[in-house]
Amino acid sequence: QVQLQESGPGLVKPSETLSLTCTVSGGSISGYYWSWIRQPPGKGLEWIGYIYYSGSTNYSPSLKSRVTISVDTSKNQFSLKLSSVTAADTAVYYCARYYCTTTTCFHLDYWGQGTLVTVSS
Partner 1 sequence: QTVVTQEPSFSVSPGGTVTLTCGLSSGSVSISYYPSWYQQTPGQAPRTLIYNTNTRSSGVPDRFSGSILGNKAALTITGAQADDESDYYCVLYMGSGIWVFGGGTKLTVL
Beta-carbon-side half-sphere exposure of residue 10 (alpha carbons within 13 Å): 3
Candidate list 8, 27, 40, 114; residue touching partner 1; CB under 8 A = 114
Give the DSSP H or E segment for 65.
Answer: none
Query: Distance between CA atoms of 42 and 45, rounded to whole angstroms?
Result: 10
Q: How far is CA 66 from the centre of its chain?
A: 13
Q: Under the criterion CB under 8 A, does residue 41 sit at the interface with partner 1? A: no
* Site track 72-101 with partner 1 (rule: CB under 8 A), x = hit: ----------------------x-x--x--
Q: Which stretch binds partner 1 (CB under 8 A): 16-24, 40-48, 72-80, 82-90?
A: 40-48
Measured CA to CA, the distance from residue 62 to residue 33 in angstroms comes to: 21
The alpha-carbon radius of gyration of the chain (Å, integer) is 14
Per-residue binding letters, 46-65, with partner 1 (x by CB under 8 A) = xx--x-------x-xxx---
Is the C-alpha dihedral spanning 56, 46, 61, 87 positive or negative?
A: negative
Question: Of these, 44, 74, 120, 121, which contacts partner 1 (CB under 8 A)?
Answer: 44
* Residue 36 lies near partner 1 (rule: CB under 8 A): no
Residues making contact with partner 1 (CB under 8 A): 37, 44-47, 50, 58, 60-62, 94, 96, 99, 104-109, 111-114
